[in-house]
Amino acid sequence: YSLQDQFDNLEKHTQWGIDVLEKYIKFVKERTEIELSYAKQLRNLSKKYQPKKNSKEEEEYRYTSTRAFLATLNEMNDYAGQHEVISENMTSLITAELTRYVQELKQERKSHFHDGRKAQQHIETCWKQLEASKRRFERDCKEAERAQQYFEKMDADINVTKADVEKARQQAQLRHQMAEDSKAEYSSTLQKFNSEQHEHYYTHIPNIFQKIQEMEERRIVRIGESMKTFAEVDRQVIPIIGKCLDEITKAAESVDHKNDSQMVIEAFKSGFEPPGDIDFEDFTQPMKRTVSESSLSNSRGDGKSEPKFGSKSKGKLWPFIKKNKLMSLLTSPHQPPPPPPASASPSAVPNGPQSPKQQKEPLSHRFNEFMTSKPKIHCFRSLKRGGAGPEDFSNLPPEQRRKKLQQKVDELNRDIQKEMDSRDALTKMKDVYIKNPQMGDAASVDHRLAELGQNIEKLRLEVQKFEGWLAEVEGRLPARPEQPRRQSGAYEAQNASGVHSCAQDRESPDGSYTEEQSQETEMKVPATDFDDEFDDEEPLPTIGTCKALYTFEGQNEGTISVAEGEMLYVIEEDKGDGWTRIRRNEDEEGYVPTSYVEVYLDKNAK
């Protein structure tokens, strides 16, 4: 009632209230977009650092620290999901509801102000009618007064006829009557206007303003409730986000450095013992020096010295020596290259046949070469190119071999169980066919049952074979408390009986026994855990080409046969021992005497 004269101001204020509501809707909408964007970025971040399937990276997640990191990534994914929930709830409970309410509010406001304007137009019309009636009454009164004055003037004039006086009198009476009628009409209109005006200001306008006030108060209440919902939507996900953070903390607390260290030890220990002491080499004696059998290179003696099977370090390699250099030494021939055929003149050979050196370099040179040479990662790869490793994994160190054999036994047992399950299912199907011949022919599954039986028998024989090798390996390893079924203290027997995977020491063409070949057989590394860090390495690059000047029959381990005039690739120069490493193709490479080939080095060759 107190604002009945502020209709226009109320109209502006209510429009401002709707603008505020729409501004809040826009604010919430932008907040939901931010939440969705944040959730998407969190999910992409989690996905980016997830381990790739069937990759080496996936194997690294067996450690407690990396498992904790993986749990953190998974929890971050759930954390992102909660931000998506916030966005969805705000959209459905606030944005959508307020948008619909704003449309209803606009319609209601339009209706109320339409009624208000209609009431104002009505009162203005009544006012105009009152003004028109008032002006008519005023005019008629003035006309009646002039007519009366004219009559009186005519009546006082003696020169005017009686008829004119009568006419003036009648005219005055008519005007007086019209004034009286206008007076009555004005009085009636005034009464009506006063009634309408009272009704307008005390009934219609207050009712309309009351409705506008209620509408405005509902708007204010609604925006307050929306703000409360805004906070509640966030509060609802706080417990779940807290659980995500608790899980991250729990994963972090599960990190066990001792366990991770033990897993590294279990993964990489080879079972080899450190090398024994190096014998003193007396250079003051005129006699030809010999290298200790327990030296790092495990050299063989001169002539036909008997191999010492009882040596404690036989077949053992120092685990701290770089593997690639070790394998290179084991693979390259440890004897002087043969001289070229006598028919050829040494002067005709561009690089000239070199005179045979002493059988062994000084041990100190070998040791320095071990310690200072840069690793040639490709040595492992080049060894693998000769073909797959032996079935019993005898090319691996004892501990790695045991693990591979155990994995093979477990795999075969799973295959047996799978075949047995299939056989049991077929047996049940056959029984059903026998009892209900209309469902199928029982004889139709006999062939498959026979195949399954044969497969199971083959797999069992395979299991027995691998279990035999496993028992043999575990019998030579120190007792393992986690596997009491195969405990054995016969580790020393390994030294007494020799390594099973190594063949008997073969006699080299120059008449001396060699142990390098047996070690080489033991150390040839296929694609196993022992050299998985080299799986992604490329082969040794070619550094040039060479032409065979003579035919060479590579009969020793590590050498390769070549025919006279054959063109080959050079992958390793002569290191001073008289041998050059060459490659024929991806599967054939080895050493040939440097004096047998003419080398064309190209530093830019791939």
Per-residue pLDDT tens over the stretch 320-354: 444 444 444 444 555 566 766 654 433 333 444 43
Radius of gyration, alpha carbons of the chain: 55
- The residue that leads in pLDDT, 218 or 306, is 218
Question: Are 63 and 198 within one domain?
Answer: yes
Last residue of one domain, picked from the residues 454, 474, 494:
474
CB atoms within 10 A of CB 368: 11
DSSP character string of 383-398: HHTT-PPPTT-TTS-H
pLDDT score of 558 more than 90 = no
Question: Are 430 and 559 within one domain?
Answer: no
| Residue at 508: amino acid letter | S
pLDDT score of 493 more than 80 = no
Say if 515 falls within a structural domain.
no
Mean pLDDT within 553-579: 86
Q: What are phi and psi of 273, to 5 degrees?
A: -100, 155
236 to 40, 106, 239: CA distances (angstroms):
20, 32, 7
Report the interhelical angle of 398-435 vs 446-476 (nearest 10°): 160
Domain harbouring 577, CATH code: 2.30.30.40
Last residue of one domain, picked from the residues 474, 500, 525:
474
Question: Are 85 and 204 within one domain?
Answer: yes
Angstrom distance (rounded) from CA 464 to CA 401: 16
Of residues 40, 36, 42, 38, the one with CA closest to residue 74: 42
Say if 401 falls within a structural domain.
yes
Residue entry with tokens 């007076």: 183
Structural domain count of the chain: 3
What does the DSSP 8-state code read for residue 530? G
- Helix, strand or coil, per DSSP, at residue 91: helix
Entry pTM: 0.48
Last residue of one domain, picked from the residues 215, 243, 263:
263
Report the interhelical angle of 64-90 vs 205-253 (nearest 10°): 170
Q: Residue 587: give the domain boundaries.
A: 544-601
Q: Are 322 and 565 in contact (CB under 8 A)?
A: no
| Residue at 131: amino acid letter | E
Query: Residue 347 has what pLDDT?
Result: 36
**Is the four-CA dihedral 370, 371, 374, 376 of positive or negative sign?**
positive
Half-sphere exposure of 546 (CA within 13 A, CB side): 31
pLDDT bucket at 301, cuts 50 / 70 / 90: very low
**Is the four-CA dihedral 559, 560, 564, 568 of positive or negative sign?**
negative
Question: Are 11 and 103 within one domain?
Answer: yes
Token pair of 15 as six digits = 């429009």
Domain harbouring 26, CATH code: 1.20.1270.60
pLDDT bucket at 237, cuts 50 / 70 / 90: very high
Say if 340 falls within a structural domain.
no
pLDDT score of 262 more than 80 = yes
Please state which of the ranges 265-274, 372-381, 398-407, 441-450 shows the lowest mean pLDDT: 372-381
Say if 294 falls within a structural domain.
no
